[in-house]
Structure 1
Amino acid sequence: MQQNFSKSFSLLAAAICGLLCISFVPPSKIKPRPGQQAAPAPIKLPQGFTAHTILDSSAKARDIVVTPQGIIYVKLSRPKNGKAILVLKERADGKATVTGGFGNYSGTGLYLKNGYLFASSNEAVFRYQLNDKNEVINPEQPETVISGLKMGRQHETKSIVLDNDGNIYVNIGFPLNSCQEKDRQPGSLGIPGCPLLDSAGGIWQFSASKLNQSYPEGTRYATGLRNVVGMDWNQQNNTLFVMQHGRDQLHDLFPDLYTQKQSAELPAECMYRIKKGDNAGFPFIYYDPFQKKKIQAPEYGGDGKKEGSAEYIDPVVAFPAHLAPNGLLFYTGNQFPEKYRNGAFVAFHGSWNRTPEKQEGFMVAFVPFRDGKPSGEWEVFADGFAGVPEVLSPRQAQHRPCGLAQGSDGSLYVTDDVKGTIYKIEYKQ
């Protein structure tokens, strides 16, 4: 569990970067490999790592997958030129070429498994059959796996992941901030029992091989999760892990109970290990990283100190507030040093609501794991995506990390959904 929450996030990031980023070389000094001409990206990385931009697409790139053959599929949050999934191929010069595209729906989710490419809209999940080269056979005729999923004006994207037993897991985000009678209205209390949890605010499990499913065919695998964008399956312990986006506006909604500073620093962005039947407690509690406790939400009688029920699960890692974790990837490659094997990379999209503090995030973090459990402190792995020294307004951030993928050679790919930039991070001794 992250310690030292009493220190500001800025000081923590600076200290970590001072230790880890000492080998960062300015882009003008980095030489490309023979046959490459791609300019390195100005990303701060630990010693031995380099990053370069393989694509600037001007489209909002979200999830990404890379096949063993090197085909790159990228899900766009909204279609560009009528295409929501781009097909890329890397060239010898280190850049990537868009070789095709398909799908005409908004959304985030993308996953490759068992001869199919699975993709999600904001209300449904589709699959595309692949040939033996992992090329999509039926780009204009996807099969509908799941449809009719709840979609609100907030937290509408549907992240997806598959296990090793033929199941697909879908996040169904909660359509409100905190289940108030009047959403985001000062002093409005919570809806008793929060009945909206019957179809949102959790993870649903479906069969990956059955078509035309909806809620009746699925199982509410876990509940009490406000919104999950980053999720991945841990192969070491055969378990689902998710990253939750924590609730907003504690001071704005309950100024008598929370200061602006507390609102900027609460609640933690949490990583959870999820088992069937788990309840993470939203909207009834939130996790306070300073008290290291589950605290009862003010909408449901909390005062910032009253502890929440012990029935709700604890996070396995707690990150600073409002950083918006949008990508989660367990690294199983061999290119990176041993410390990264089976550990978790988390792509943070960056905050909009840490005022009066600076906006933070816009980075990729790393959590070491051993035997399927966190084994040490989290750290900043890749930073500098924002492109400016300080972000006081969210619009100042030039890039926001979103999706993560591992290449067949062990490289790490990172998407950006502001300018559609795709980065490739490599390690060379």
Structure 2
Amino acid sequence: MKTKIILLGCLSVMTLLSARSLPHNGDSTVLRHRVAVNPADPGLKLPAGFKAQVVAENLGAARHIAVTPQGDLYVKIQSSKPGKAIAVVHNGVAKSFGTYRGTGMVIKGDYLYTSSDEEVFRYKLNDKSEIINMDKPEKIVTGLINRHQHEAKALTLDNDGNIYVNIGAYSNSCQVQDRAKGSKGIEGCPILDSAGGIWQFKADKLNQTYGDGVRYATGLRNVVGLDWNASLNQLFVMQHGRDGLFDMFPEHYSLEQGNELPAECMYALKQGDNAGWPYIYYDGSKHQKILAPEYGGDGSKTGGENAIDPVIAFPAHMAPNGLLFYTGNQFPERYKNGAFVAFHGSWNRQKGQKGYFVAFVPFKNGKPVGEWEVFADDFAGVPNIQSPGQAQHRPCGLAQGPDGSLYVTDDVKGTVYKISYSGK
């Protein structure tokens, strides 16, 4: 793997383009730098007929991504350094601007929507999908909770003028003392009043706060990957499952159970749905909703009779940070309307970390069919990874290009991959 990295570095030098081709748009805070457009194989493991190339690197902590109809990239950077919040990549050259760290990034109609950890913004685009005024984004939503735990305000939009924002719970399991061994759960978990769910706001109304929005769905610990399924006209989300079952309740859970529970779950949401956090979690091996130990559970008692079931469950502690329903025509037909999920990778398994890949879930008639599968692997570049710090790349954001290619971001080295299908 080291050899491939060296080759990428050498080749990227030969393929850099001049930043002079990018318009300035009158923004004094715009910073320019060069990024790679590299046809070489970056070393990902893909199904037959697919290939990957690096189309940008060294962007910073690249989170979610949007691709314009012209093929340009907007990448949200998790950085509060002046001029480094959003990267725009055009023909292998990047310029960056903005001053707020965050995760969310999506294009809908004539606007680019982005988020900080407390607010949601939009930028007006011209007919070339260029931002008209980088200095003055409109504030759509303000004053969202950020207590430095599960603070990412991931977002998506429907086709009726609504925007959906994750407001993650600032807690692992709503304990009296967060993440403390044996600490009980708070009855009536007050966190759910303003976090631990998905809020719906109007996409064209400025300066909205909690009171202007709707708590669309609740009982969701933290959602970083979400997407609006246009064929079903429904919101889908990937929840980050809770931690610490063995660490905090060793009388009920073995170390192995703590590693393998609970499942990372995909939910199909309708307004008013409750996924059950913090009172329950989902056991993917038993296919049951299990009462959380903070609320009287022992690893076997079921609960959550009024909570919805996931549509599919994945192994524990893999951190699903990106979700995309594929609507393009480039990939083989079996991929049409299926879901791609970017797993950022675990950090808290006791032995051997999991994730660091992009999975695919085939759908038919609006529901998953068959088994999920690993689609793109070897981002980490390290076999048997023991610590996330060893990972050379960690998948985060997903986007579909105008030609039907799949784009994947990495927030370790700021790499953007383009995955295409040629059938060869």
TM-score (norm 1): 0.89
**Larger deviation, residues 333-342 vs 51-60:** 51-60
Match of 2:416 among 407, 414, 422: 422
1:69 paired with 2:65, answer no
Q: Distance in 2 between matches of 1:270 and 1:38?
A: 35
Q: Which amino acid aligns with 1:41?
A: P
Aligned residue number for residue 407 of structure 1: 401
Aligned residue number for residue 50 of structure 2: 49
Match of 1:185 among 180, 187, 190: 180
- 1:166-315 superposed matches below 5 A: 166-315=161-310
Could you give the per-residue CA deviations for residues 259-298 of structure 1, whole angstroms, max 9, x where no partner exists?
1100000000000000000000000000001111000000
1:57 positional shift: 1.4
Match of 2:129 among 84, 109, 134: 134
1:238 positional shift: 0.2
1:52 positional shift: 1.0
Q: Distance in 1 between matches of 2:182 and 2:47?
A: 46
Q: Distance in 1 between matches of 2:48 and 2:390?
A: 28
1:37 positional shift: 5.5
- Structure 2 residue matching 1:78: 3-state secondary structure: coil
Aligned residue number for residue 97 of structure 1: 93
1:309 positional shift: 2.4
Aligned residue number for residue 345 of structure 1: 340
Match of 1:393 among 387, 392, 398: 387
Q: Which amino acid aligns with 1:344?
A: A
Aligned residue number for residue 369 of structure 1: 363
TM-score (norm 2): 0.90
Cα distance change on mapping 1:347 and 1:37 into 2, 3 Å: closer
1:117 paired with 2:112, answer yes
Unaligned runs of 5+ in 1: 1-25, 91-95
Q: Distance in 1 between matches of 2:407 and 2:384?
A: 25
Q: Which amino acid aligns with 2:52?
A: A
Could you give the per-residue CA deviations for residues 178-199 of structure 1, whole angstroms, max 9, x where no partner exists?
1000000000000111011000
CA contact (8 A) 1:59 1:80 kept: no
Match of 1:336 among 315, 327, 331: 331
Count of matched residue positions in the alignment of Structure 1 and Structure 2: 392
Q: Distance in 2 between matches of 1:80 and 1:362?
A: 27
Could you give the per-residue CA deviations for residues 326-373 of structure 1, whole angstroms, max 9, x where no partner exists?
0000000000000101100000000011213x1010000000012222
Could you give the per-residue CA deviations for residues 51-89 of structure 1, whole angstroms, max 9, x where no partner exists?
111111150000000010112100001145522011101
CA contact (8 A) 1:270 1:315 kept: yes
Q: Distance in 2 between matches of 1:384 and 1:174?
A: 31
Aligned residue number for residue 3 of structure 1: none
CA contact (8 A) 2:241 2:317 kept: yes
CA contact (8 A) 1:130 1:137 kept: yes
CA contact (8 A) 2:38 2:53 kept: no
Unaligned runs of 5+ in 2: 16-36
- Structure 2 residue matching 1:174: 3-state secondary structure: coil
- Structure 1 residue matching 2:85: 3-state secondary structure: strand
CA contact (8 A) 1:234 1:372 kept: no
Q: Distance in 2 between matches of 1:37 and 1:292?
A: 44
Q: Distance in 2 between matches of 1:256 and 1:403?
A: 38
Q: Which amino acid aligns with 2:109?
A: N
Aligned residue number for residue 317 of structure 2: 322
Q: Distance in 2 between matches of 1:76 and 1:371?
A: 36
Q: Distance in 2 between matches of 1:126 and 1:81?
A: 17
1:375 positional shift: 1.9
**Larger deviation, residues 242-251 vs 77-86:** 77-86
- Structure 1 residue matching 2:334: 3-state secondary structure: helix
Match of 1:155 among 150, 157, 173: 150
CA contact (8 A) 1:236 1:371 kept: no
Cα distance change on mapping 1:104 and 1:81 into 2, 3 Å: closer
Q: Percent identity?
A: 64
CA contact (8 A) 2:59 2:87 kept: no
Runs of 4+ in 1 over 6 A off after TM superposition: none
Q: Distance in 2 between matches of 1:328 and 1:364?
A: 10
- Structure 1 residue matching 2:360: 3-state secondary structure: strand
Q: Which amino acid aligns with 1:238?
A: N
Q: Distance in 1 between matches of 2:285 and 2:313?
A: 10
